Amino acid sequence: MKRLSYYLSISLIVLIGFTLLSSCKRLPESKQGFYVNEEYRFSVTYPEDFVIRNPEYKYQVFLAESKLGWTFLSIVIVEKMDLTDVPNNIVKVLKTLGASDIKFLSKKHTTLIDGTPAYEVYVLWYGNQWDRTVVPVKGAYTSILIINRGNKMIGVEITDMKEVSDDFKKILYSLKFYK
Answer yes or no: are the C-beta atoms of 94 and 125 closer than 8 Å.
yes
How confident is the prediction for the chain on average, in pLDDT? Answer: 81
Distance from C-alpha of 71 to C-alpha of 28, rounded to nearest angstrom: 26
Distance from C-alpha of 69 to C-alpha of 90, rounded to nearest angstrom: 22
pLDDT band of 100, cuts 50, 70, 90:
confident
Distance from C-alpha of 45 to C-alpha of 33, rounded to nearest angstrom: 6
* pLDDT higher at 142 or 163: 142
How much is the pLDDT for 17? 47
Q: What average pLDDT does range 149-160 have in this prediction?
A: 92
pLDDT band of 82, cuts 50, 70, 90:
confident
- Whole-model pTM above 0.85? no
Secondary-structure class of domain 27-177 per CATH: alpha beta
How much is the pLDDT for 24? 56
Residue 54 has pLDDT above 70, yes or no: yes
Give residue limits of the domains in the chain. 27-177
